[in-house]
Amino acid sequence: MTRRPTALAAGALALLPLAALASDSSDPIVIPIHNWSSQIVMSNVVGQILEGMGNTVEYVTTDSQAVYESIRLGDVTLELEVWEGAFGASFRAAMEKGGIVDVGDHDAITREDWWYPMWTKDACPGLPSWEALNDCAALFATPETGDKGRYLDGPVDWLKHGKERVEALDMDFEVINAGSAAALWAEIGAAEADKTPVVVFNWTPNFAEAVWPGEFVEFPEWVDGCDKDPALGPNPEMLYDCGNPADGYLKKAAWEGMADKWPGAYAVLEKISFTNPQIAEMARLVDIDELEPDEAAEEWLAANEDIWTAWTE
């Protein structure tokens, strides 16, 4: 089978020490694409780096939960964004079943917690303290929740324990689960029209920060074991009486056969590490500047050459 190298690959090829990586298989490395911008651009960035090293890369769109089964089977080679909060449980379950390996963390830290867009603060000036939020609970009431405020939590499969926290901290809120990230954005988007106060689940790094400026609610600080030992946290009798850790991991994962089949690419994957500003920049190129993901990746690679060339040496 003949493969024509793309112009970009040919250009980048000249920069790289090819000989050291000659042992990589010529089969395509399959990179999964999910439905949020930073992940799509990051996948393209890494794909183009690997192509530049002479590998062939293919992208495949998949569900972000079902992808772990495909990695275990070797159908998908790697995953660049394993969020501690959203996918930690799926990742751990897949690790237990075998076939997938942990390739280390990005520098970026992730935070996932209760969040509000700035206009909410006008109505409830005591924010971001959670006690102030609780005092304003009535502001967030809807027909369905009666007197209680409404907190829109992430999808159930993200295991956010919103309900448990409301009970543990005795808050006047009712927790409703959105079914998808898109559903969360729709709620914020609808509230934006007449600046209705809302409090929803959100995370960083994320495109929403650029579209809707906002802040996380400050809960009692996370202490290790808050989810296992009731004694920790302000409520001595219950679990989950703390905020989420403000520094969750963002991991890379790979099929266990990758290291043998594409040793060169695997070595690079181990070194790859993005920071929060870099991830936000990638998302911005697509979400705000409206570039296509592959163009955004080219642009990012061109602007950050010193960063990624260090990984390929």
Residues contributing to the site for another protein (CB under 8 A): 1-4, 30, 32-37, 40, 60-63, 65-70, 72-73, 75-76, 87, 89-90, 93-94, 96-97, 142-144, 152, 155-157, 176-183, 185-187, 189-190, 192-194, 207-208, 211, 283, 286-287, 290, 292-293, 295
DSSP 112: E
Cα–Cα distance, 128 to 121 (Å, whole number) = 8
Query: Which residue lies nearer to another protein by CB, 218 or 294?
Result: 294
Least Å distance, CB 155 to another protein, is 7
Least Å distance, CB 16 to another protein, is 20
Query: Which residue lies nearer to another protein by CB, 32 or 233?
Result: 32
Least Å distance, CB 37 to another protein, is 5
Place of tokens 């009731």: 230
Query: Which residue lies nearer to another protein by CB, 96 or 306?
Result: 96
Query: Which residue lies nearer to another protein by CB, 181 or 254?
Result: 181
Least Å distance, CB 148 to another protein, is 14
Q: How many CA atoms lie within 13 A of 223 on its CB side?
A: 12
Using only C-alpha atoms, what is the Rg of the chain?
22
Tokens of 190: 């609808």
Query: Which residue lies nearer to another protein by CB, 94 or 226?
Result: 94
127, 133 contact by CB (below 8 A): yes
Phi, psi for residue 59 in degrees, rounded to 5: -110, 145
Tokens of 43: 């996948």
**Mind giving me the DSSP string for 217-284?**
-BPSPP-TTTTT-TTSSS-TT-S--SPPPTTB-EEEEEETTHHHH-HHHHHHHHH----HHHHHHHHH
Least Å distance, CB 179 to another protein, is 4
**Mind giving me the DSSP string for 49-86?**
HHHHTT--EEEEE--TTTHHHHHHHTSS-EEEEEEHHH
Query: Which residue lies nearer to another protein by CB, 20 or 66?
Result: 66
Query: Which residue lies nearer to another protein by CB, 36 or 311?
Result: 36
